[in-house]
Amino acid sequence: MVDRGKFLAAAERPEEQAAAGVPAGSAMPGPLLLMGAPGAGKGTQAKKIMAVWRMPQIWTGGILRDNRARGTDLGRQAKQVMDEGKLVPDDLVNRMVAERLAAPDVARGYILDGYPRTLGQARWLDELLAGQGAPGGALPVIAVSLAVGYNQLLRRVTGRRICPTCQRTYNVYLQPPKADTVCDVDGALLAQRADDAEEVFHERMRTYEILTAPVLEHYRQSGRLVEVNGDRSVSGVSAEILHAVEELRRQRNS
């Protein structure tokens, strides 16, 4: 586990590097699994980390779509399963991930999003990476969990409004429009996505906690979990992530 006090002191340094577009520090970031509940800011942070460390994001939806577009065997099998309204089985997902991880752009590291989703997938990935002779050595996955309090998540998600005309987003609690309910730019009536309704939020949170608990525990037990306070500014959070990951890589190398 990473000492929070230590990395907070240096939190501004990676941020300056980020602004300069220079990869932070010298440690190889390696594979990172980014985890966060709905509203935790996972998408925003993924973009920041990708820009600083210049590494790709790998998500199963994207791999699936790519396989189907290329008409691969795996893609056809997945399509058949999905057409039957079933979940794509672990085995098939794992094989597609293995193929994706053989591409040269992942050599320094990559961000995993939504995979591994189960304990079985997490263990399978550990074995795959342990047996892989990737350039610079195949580093094990570090899981980064963005921790944000329940009530803050609730406000972030249920307060979200979008302008149907210009797509600008607002938050009625955190970033309200000048006039209630209408867009500052074009005066259009703001809308809420169905997914952001309060009942849907509670349900998504329950599902998230049930699904991720065993995966989180897997990384915690093997000393590869970094928990970051996600209830801060976007740049503060990304600085903390970059530093915590570097710190953990260094500890594991020494």
Residues with catalytic annotation? 42, 117, 160, 193, 204
Residue 183 or residue 244: which is nearer to Zn ion going by CB? 183
Q: What is the Cα–Cα distance from 75 to 78, expressed in whole angstroms?
A: 5
Phi and psi torsions of 34, nearest 5°: -95, 125
Residues 156-175 that bind Zn ion (CB under 5 A): 163, 165-166, 168
Dihedral sign for Cα 128, 134, 136, 137, please: positive
The structure tokens listed for 195 are 């997914």
Query: How many chain residues interact with Zn ion (CB under 5 A)?
Result: 8
In DSSP terms, 17 is beta-bridged to: none
Please, what is the minimum distance in Å from the beta carbon of residue 168 to Zn ion?
5
Residue 81 or residue 182: which is nearer to Zn ion going by CB? 182
- List strand residue ranges (DSSP E) for 119-234, in order: 142-147, 160-162, 169-171, 225-229
Binding to Zn ion by CB under 5 A, coded x per residue (else -) over 185-224, reads: xx-x------------------------------------
The structure tokens listed for 97 are 């991930």
Pairing of strands 109-113, 225-229: unpaired
Three-state SS for 185? coil
Residue 86 or residue 178: which is nearer to Zn ion going by CB? 178
Count of all residues that appear for the chain in the document: 254
Residue 70 or residue 178: which is nearer to Zn ion going by CB? 178
Please, what is the minimum distance in Å from the beta carbon of residue 155 to Zn ion?
22
Residue 129 or residue 188: which is nearer to Zn ion going by CB? 188
Position among 32, 148, 154, 183 found at the interface with Zn ion (CB under 5 A):
183
Closest listed residue to residue 240, CA positions, set 36, 57, 39, 48: 48
Alpha helices in the chain (DSSP H): 4-9, 12-20, 42-53, 60-69, 73-83, 90-100, 119-130, 150-158, 198-221, 234-253
By CB under 5 A, which span of 21-29, 67-75, 99-107, 181-189 interacts with Zn ion? 181-189
Please, what is the minimum distance in Å from the beta carbon of residue 182 to Zn ion?
8
Residues 226-245 that bind Zn ion (CB under 5 A): none
Pairing of strands 30-36, 109-113: parallel
Binding status of residue 63 toward Zn ion by CB under 5 A: no
Please, what is the minimum distance in Å from the beta carbon of residue 73 to Zn ion?
45
Please, what is the minimum distance in Å from the beta carbon of residue 164 to Zn ion?
8
List contacts with Zn ion (CB under 5 A). 163, 165-166, 168, 183, 185-186, 188
